[in-house]
């Protein structure tokens, strides 16, 4: 087997980019839209915003579609195809839109199955099958199957949002394809619709059934007759030329037509990327799911040595075997992600993760132990607990996002991210590929399914200059030569699409390419289903989302966008389309998508819209564009995307920037001023809060105010209070305590500045009193603001950035003594703390005081853990249910792991502490009060948080955010507490 690096003398030239094609139109688009609206009960969208939303997937490519259809059911699909056929309009079927090879972007009418056609039938544990619609998310299938100790074996890293239809289109694989095979190996039958209206169910076909279909004649008989001829003509060549490796995904599955494979038309269509048929439904084969699993991590000197040992590891029969290199960890560190998880890995710069399964934990653990013992003297092996395994798997699954937009590195892109070879060839293949990368000056971490010889990467291609693009094309040609020389496949999971379609002749030769064309024509003779993909497609370096003519609008901005070279356009390019914001089962991001299931309400959708706005090609009117504003309108500014998005898309900041300019062209609603400057009204109301609360409660006045401010009738106005001031008793107790704690080495207790935020100061001063007591008990000397200050948190929700900057400059001036002295600043409201850690330096990047203040701000839990390690919380004998504020998790990480300090303190009380994976509460400042947001707000609250509160009537509900507390109190009988109140003990009351 040759392992040298071939060279290519093939000349390439620059081809049209997506920008050159951006204004391509379908002549009868208006009539087509009208006809579809008449026939389709689902949604038909041909507006600029919808076309912008679906112009790209997770690949390097961009095609502005003709329009969008979101069918409700099979009848809708049939009707829509009939209309498209009448107008000769091409069709592209799309699931989660996470395709990396450009399969899900085309100049066509896009059918999005994910919103409505996402149902499934009951799991049949006897036949081990289940019937599903194409838009169902993989994890929903796996959850249902696990109730019977079964699973759907293929599980790509996007399992929380990828759809079964998309998996069938790509022939997806994933970690446990080692246990149960690729998608093609797990399909029982498909219900399909052809462009000409033919509908049929396909699967295994015995010879007698083939003969029966042929004898019946008609369109279906013609299909079977033609496919049989195709099989008989090319069968031997297929056997000779198709690589016999675990991950051959490139090309059409002509091998499934062979007699030894029972002429399986369903499996022949898997991986055809929507170019042959439209999937209406699928019956899936399920496999046994080991109910007990154990993960072992193995560290090697480098990733090449790790790859060399894959065949040895496979002899121990793991159910999953993944690999990654040290560059992946370096990328995570540079992005400040998974910092607490990385130390779980063994020493080394190349890693294998081997998962073992069993019918009992003892059996699973024993297999892992035997493997670890066998690795003694070869490499360091670590066996993980279940909790540790979850964290280690998260490192591996972060691969795609972790390797994009790494600080200090040239951006990595898809392209050569999916080739596969036999596991025995993996080490040699990676070394040869690495030498080629060095020749071109490219870098990329390596990670993926090492157990089946499939390695992913994001190479640092230059896709914005002519030289860079031509180098990219030449590299792809030479990399293909290396993979083929190692007996490999150009695609091992992600499909061919436009990224690798033009390379298929290298792999299969002219005769099989003609067989592929024939296969496509049999199903789709008019070439209207996802045309120009896989075969006879556009070139690899054509239709690039960037391209040599990429010249986005670069407007002046309020925020610095330092991580994106000061460019808002570059910031909007961050989204790589991986779709982590489209998950609906866990985490916080993206709450509005969880509530609506709409692409335009996902972080990805909004990022794509803003990116398109910067192109000035599809979306008109720049900042004044109303469709972009509507897309951002349901963004709760929860900032979850900042931490949960693998590439840290910060939609809250993008929204604030956009709105600040949008309202330069439009008058602001009165509610913006009322909510945005709530600190001023709260300060005035605090002079006589009883009178204000009485007036607010009068039915006539309350109704009028709600109408004027566009507040939903079911919402209650929060009650104002007098602001917090330390009374004489508190000051005396503090003085006494400090006196008690003086030592010869310390003349006075250390100082801390307690920030009086608008929400706790004017609405919940009991929290301020509690925090004052806690900090006093912990031995600190406390100072509080001696005048009204506000960080301006609500201003960002409405883009009132000039005012927000004024607020922050006032804070810097007032806190200059504390900043210069390095005094820690404790902030009780997480959303206010996030202003000081994020917006402050983004709005005022050049003031050194801002940088210092950012590093001096702490949440109460962070401060106590860092500066009072001996602090002992009081005993609590009740259960505690914790709801984490979105901004808290955005600052410190996702899930319970992101609230480590708070949970540590609460568990130190001796209480049974339950942390909710509840996502955003749905209130999000003014969001939940607004009339047109109320339903979304309630849906989000009812997702996890509110039922959990109602189901724990005796528990203490801990929620540090003012908005979160309002959502709870306005929908339940509970009275949530801030962490400070729990730590202050029973003598602190509202």
The whole-angstrom separation of Cα 721 and Cα 719 is 7
741 pLDDT above the threshold of 90: no
Structure tokens at 602: 């996902």
Q: Is residue 36 within a helix (H) or strand (E), and if so which, with residue range? A: helix 29-39
pLDDT of residue 732: 53
Distance CA(671)–CA(930), nearest Å, equals 9
**Contact present, 712 and 970 (Cβ < 8 Å):** no
CA dist list (Å): 250 to 134, 519, 531: 22, 14, 17
Residue 935 CA to residue 97 CA, distance in Å, equals 27
Torsion of CA 143, 144, 149, 155, to 10 degrees: -50
* Residue located via tokens 């390797």: 403
Q: Which of 413, 485, 463 is closest to 8 using CA atoms?
A: 485
Sheet containing strand 187-193, strands side by side: 129-132, 278-285, 187-193, 199-202
First to last CA, the chain: 77
Q: Which of 6-10, 143-147, 291-295 has the lowest mean pLDDT?
A: 6-10
What token pair was written down for 392? 């280690």
**Packed helices 860-867 and 765-777: angle between N→C axes, nearest 10 degrees:** 0
Tally of CA atoms within 13 A in the half-sphere of 288 that contains its CB: 8
Q: Which helix (H) or strand (E) holds 358?
A: strand 350-358
Q: Which of the four pLDDT bands, split at 50, 70 and 90, describes residue 974?
A: very high
The answer to whether 179 and 166 are in contact (CB under 8 A) is no
Can you give the pTM of this predicted structure? 0.93
Looking at beta carbons, which pairs linking 313-318 to residues 24 or more positions away fall under 8 Å? 313/352, 313/354, 313/371, 313/451, 314/423, 314/451, 316/354, 316/356, 316/367, 316/370, 316/371, 316/374, 317/356, 317/367, 318/178, 318/354, 318/355, 318/356, 318/371, 318/451
CB 71 within 8 A of CB 117: yes
Average pLDDT, the chain: 93
Nearest to 353 by CA among 395, 303, 398, 297: 297
| Per-residue model confidence (pLDDT) at position 897 | 54
| Cβ-proximal residues to 718 (8 Å cutoff; 6+ apart), any chain | 763, 962, 966
Which residues are bridge partners to 129 per DSSP? 124, 285
pLDDT at residue 177 is higher than 70 = yes
Share of the chain above pLDDT 70, in %: 96
| Sheet with 91-94, side-by-side order of all strands | 43-45, 67-70, 109-112, 91-94
Q: Of 310, 348, 313, nearest to 329 (Cα)?
A: 348
Q: pLDDT, tens digit, for every residue of 274-309?
A: 999 999 999 999 999 999 999 999 999 999 999 999
- Three-state SS across 407-459? CCCCCCECCCCCCECCHHHHHHHHHHHHHHHHHHCCCCCCEEEHHHCEEECCE
Work out the average pLDDT over 590-595.
Answer: 93
pLDDT tens-place string over residues 210-229? 999 999 999 999 999 999 99
- Which pair of structure tokens corresponds to residue 486? 């190692």
């Amino acid at each position: 087997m040759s392992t040298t690096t071939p060279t290519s003398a093939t000349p390439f030239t620059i081809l049209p980019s997506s920008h050159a094609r951006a204004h391509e139109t379908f002549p009868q688009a208006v009539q087509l839209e009208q006809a579809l609206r008449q026939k389709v009960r689902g949604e038909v969208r041909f507006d600029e915003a919808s076309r912008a939303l679906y112009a790209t997937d997770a690949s390097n490519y961009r095609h502005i579609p003709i329009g969008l259809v979101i069918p409700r059911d099979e009848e809708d699909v049939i009707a829509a195809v009939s209309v498209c056929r009448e107008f000769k309009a091409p069709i592209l079927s799309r699931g989660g839109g996470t395709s990396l090879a450009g399969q899900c972007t085309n100049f066509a009418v896009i059918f999005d199955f994910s919103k409505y056609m996402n149902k499934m039938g009951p799991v049949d544990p006897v036949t081990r099958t289940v019937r599903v619609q194409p838009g169902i998310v993989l994890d929903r299938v796996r959850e249902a199957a696990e109730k019977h100790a079964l699973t759907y074996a293929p599980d790509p890293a996007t399992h929380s949002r990828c759809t079964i239809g998309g998996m069938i289109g790509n022939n997806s694989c994933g970690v446990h394809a080692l246990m149960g095979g690729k998608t093609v190996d797990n399909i029982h039958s498909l219900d399909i619709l052809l462009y000409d209206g033919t509908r049929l169910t396909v699967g295994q076909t015995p010879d007698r059934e083939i003969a029966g279909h042929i004898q019946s004649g008609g369109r279906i008989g013609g299909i079977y007759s033609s496919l049989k001829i195709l099989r008989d003509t090319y069968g031997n060549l297929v056997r000779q030329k198709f690589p016999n490796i675990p991950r051959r995904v490139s090309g059409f599955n002509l091998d499934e037509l062979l007699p030894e494979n029972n002429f399986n038309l369903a499996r022949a269509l898997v991986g055809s990327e929507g170019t042959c048929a439209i999937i209406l439904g699928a019956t899936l084969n399920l496999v046994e799911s080991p109910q007990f699993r154990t993960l072992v991590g193995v560290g090697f000197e480098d990733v090449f040595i790790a790859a060399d040992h894959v065949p040895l590891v496979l002899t121990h029969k793991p159910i999953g075997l993944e690999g990654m290199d040290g560059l992946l960890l370096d990328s995570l560190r540079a992005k400040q992600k998974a910092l607490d998880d990385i130390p779980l890995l063994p020493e080394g710069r190349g890693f294998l993760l081997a998962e073992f399964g069993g019918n009992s934990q003892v059996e699973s653990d024993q297999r892992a132990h035997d493997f670890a013992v066998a690795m003694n003297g070869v490499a360091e092996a670590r066996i993980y607990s279940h909790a540790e395994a979850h964290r280690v798997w998260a490192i591996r699954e972060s691969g795609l996002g972790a390797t994009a937009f790494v600080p200090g590195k040239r951006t990595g892109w898809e392209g050569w991210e999916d080739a596969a070879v036999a596991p025995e060839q993996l080490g040699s293949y990676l070394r040869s590929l690495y030498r080629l990368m060095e020749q071109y000056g490219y870098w990329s971490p390596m990670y993926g399914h090492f157990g089946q010889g499939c390695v992913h990467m994001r190479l640092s291609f230059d896709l914005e200059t002519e030289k860079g693009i031509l180098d990219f094309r030449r590299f792809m040609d030479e990399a293909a030569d290396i993979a083929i020389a190692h007996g490999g496949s150009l695609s091992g999971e992600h499909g061919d699409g436009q990224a690798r379609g033009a390379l298929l002749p290298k792999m299969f030769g002219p005769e099989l390419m003609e067989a592929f064309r024939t296969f496509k024509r049999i199903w789709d003779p008019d070439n209207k289903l996802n045309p120009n993909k896989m075969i006879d497609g556009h070139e690899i370096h054509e239709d690039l989302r960037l391209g040599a003519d990429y010249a986005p609008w670069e407007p002046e901005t309020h925020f610095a966008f330092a991580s994106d070279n000061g460019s808002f356009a570059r910031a909007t390019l961050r989204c790589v389309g991986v779709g982590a914001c489209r998950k609906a089962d866990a985490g916080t991001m993206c709450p509005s998508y969880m509530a609506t299931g709409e692409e335009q309400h996902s972080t990805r959708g909004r990022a794509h819209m803003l990116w398109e706005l910067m192109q000035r090609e599809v979306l008109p009117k720049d900042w004044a564009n109303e469709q972009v504003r509507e897309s951002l309108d349901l963004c709760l500014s929860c900032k979850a995307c900042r931490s949960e998005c693998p590439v840290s898309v910060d939609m809250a900041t993008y929204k604030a920037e956009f709105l600040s300019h949008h309202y330069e062209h439009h008058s602001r609603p009165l509610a913006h001023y009322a909510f945005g400057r709530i600190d001023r009204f709260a300060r005035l109301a605090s002079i006589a809060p009883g009178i204000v609360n009485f007036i607010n409660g009068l039915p006539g006045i309350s109704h009028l105010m709600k109408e004027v401010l566009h507040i939903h009738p079911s919402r209650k106005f929060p009650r104002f209070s007098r602001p917090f001031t330390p009374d004489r008793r508190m000051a005396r107790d503090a003085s006494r305590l400090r006196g008690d704690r003086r030592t010869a080495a310390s003349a006075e207790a250390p100082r801390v500045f307690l920030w009086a935020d608008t929400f706790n100061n004017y609405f919940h001063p009991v929290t301020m009193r509690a925090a004052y007591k806690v900090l006093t008990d912990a031995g600190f000397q406390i100072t509080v603001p001696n005048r009204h200050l506000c960080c301006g948190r609500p201003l960002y929700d409405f883009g009132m950035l000039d005012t927000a900057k004024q607020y922050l400059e006032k804070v810097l001036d007032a806190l200059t003594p504390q900043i210069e002295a390095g005094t820690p600043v404790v902030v009780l409201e997480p959303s206010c703390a996030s202003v000081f850690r994020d917006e402050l330096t983004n709005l005022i990047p050049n003031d050194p005081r801002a940088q210092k203040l950012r590093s001096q701000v702490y949440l109460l839990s962070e401060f106590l853990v860092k500066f009072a390690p001996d602090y002992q919380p009081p005993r609590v004998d009740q259960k505690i249910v914790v709801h984490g504020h979105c901004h808290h998790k955005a600052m410190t990480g996702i899930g319970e792991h992101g609230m480590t300090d708070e949970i540590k303190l609460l568990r130190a009380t001796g209480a049974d502490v339950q942390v909710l994976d509840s996502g955003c509460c749905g209130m999000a400042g003014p969001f939940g009060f607004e009339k047109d947001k109320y339903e979304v707000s309630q849906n989000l609250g009812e997702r996890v948080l509110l039922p959990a509160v109602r189901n724990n009537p005796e528990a203490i509900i801990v929620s540090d955010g003012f908005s979160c507390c309002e959502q709870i109190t306005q929908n339940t009988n509970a009275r949530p507490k801030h962490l400070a109140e729990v730590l202050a003990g029973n003598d602190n009351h509202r």
